[in-house]
Structure 1
Amino acid sequence: MVLVSSTVSAQTTHEYLGVITLSDSSFISYKLSFEETNGFIKGYSITDLSGPHETKSMITGTYDKDEKQLKFRESGIVYTKSPITQTDFCYIHFEGRLAKLNDRRKLAGTFVGKYDDGGSCIDGEIDMKSLVKIEKRAARLDKAVDKSILVSKEKKDAVNLLRTLDTLNTNFLRADEVVQVFSKDDSVTLTLTDVGQEDGDRISIYADDKVLVQNAAIGNKPQSFTIKLSSKPVTLKVEATSAGSIGANTVQLTLSDSLNVIEAITNMEKGESASMVLIKQ
């Protein structure tokens, strides 16, 4: 799930990467991605990137360029890898200083945490930098390492900051993971494609007891399915029936509804499986 800052319909996507520091001094990785229109912002946050509790939430708020102040709050959950229920989630309500919306400014401030019913949970601080600035610095460091005669080729191949950032920005679906996906629509669309070079990746997908695909070869040509939602959650079981000829099974699954698009890439060996639980809000 990688979004790169770009201009779409005269709007720029602003992305920041950093950490949340909780009141108990623990740290959690945090990413923001949003667009600003006439002082109003809208986008999403991702907490615990590539971690066992990775969660994507929608955010709305305001940016006052005169006061140099950014405010936002998390609302509905798009997806989560955490086993806790939706009512137990602690949503961030942030207020901090941002001198200007560009790739050179630091974003920092405090937040209060609130449950869905408005009750207080945990508070803390957020400290972030522009993702563009982080990527530029990583590219310079990678270039310096590549030029160094003091670093072996093996270590150069192993240490690549840009590749590490790309991994953090990719939503992998790993063996035995359970991802809860939330939607307000009556149906969602599941689209399957192989990532990169076609290498014979095969998967089976079951929607509860219904077979969507069985030991199917997934290529670069997308295959799409419509999955109806109701008050009862639908469990998609994704099983890697082969790992292809190049590394692990890497099939991209895209779930989309009228509001959100979720991209996940399988990272499993033959016989391993993971689940996506579709929940209608």
Structure 2
Amino acid sequence: MSLLEIDNVSVRFGEKPSALRQRMGLADTRITAVSEASLNINAGESIGVVGESGSGKTTLMRAVIGLVPIDSGEVRFNGVPLHARRSIELRRAIQMVYQDPGTTLNPSRKVGNAIEELLRVHNLAPSRAARQRRVAELFDRVQLPSSMLQAYPRELSGGQKQRIAIARSLALEPSVLIADEATSALDVIVQASVLDLLAELRRESGITLIFITHDLTLVRYLCERAIVMNAGVVVEGNTVDELFDNPQAQYTRELIEAVPKLPPVAGQVSHGN
């Protein structure tokens, strides 16, 4: 059994047609953002979800974590269906890191205190001293100096904010980490360092990583397997190497041809690890 199963999931935006409209045969005017998408993800796997803006990739993952309602289909975690109202444990199990971490950081709170408060609310450490130790461990894990514990978000660079966002997600001890365009707003050097960090975290902890991006070259760098989405539909899915060597969909071929290559970076991920 896969850790995370996405089974024929569709997401539509707009008001569902009334029973009367359906009986009259009037058209459903809702916008379909995701159409019958399916994907099985194994524990410890690193998988890319690729497509241009508007392809449905972020909407699909927001449906997985419960931020948008599923119109049809089902998402299961360890065989348990994930409904809109899910337990705290299930909400903690799947965490998401967003494209712009600055929008999710409280500008009036020091970043160390914000993560410490998260630990307190979720009862993940028995005392303030234990919470402070845990926050220091998380900062070390995402390669940030302890001096940054007392920083406000406005004092941090984009790459530092993204590492804080990753540390905050890891604080909840998730099984699945979804990174939504988590490096797209960063320059190439910082982008590479965050990619290396995600790869290292996955190797060390065995966390399952879902990497959402419009750039197939980043998926080749980081992931073992990928699906390609276009207009809300999964048009192709395969191992990353096979996807690049033998793309089946014309849309996939266009993505591969259009995106510039990522410069080589020390510590590039091997798909065999």
TMscore range, shorter length: under 0.3
Q: Which structure's residues are more often helix, by fraction?
A: 2
Task: Give the structure, 1 or 2, with the largest relative contact order (CA under 8 Å, sep 6 or more).
Answer: 2
Normalising by structure 2, we get a TM-score of 0.27
Q: Which has the higher strand share?
A: 1
Q: State TM-score, norm by structure 1.
A: 0.27
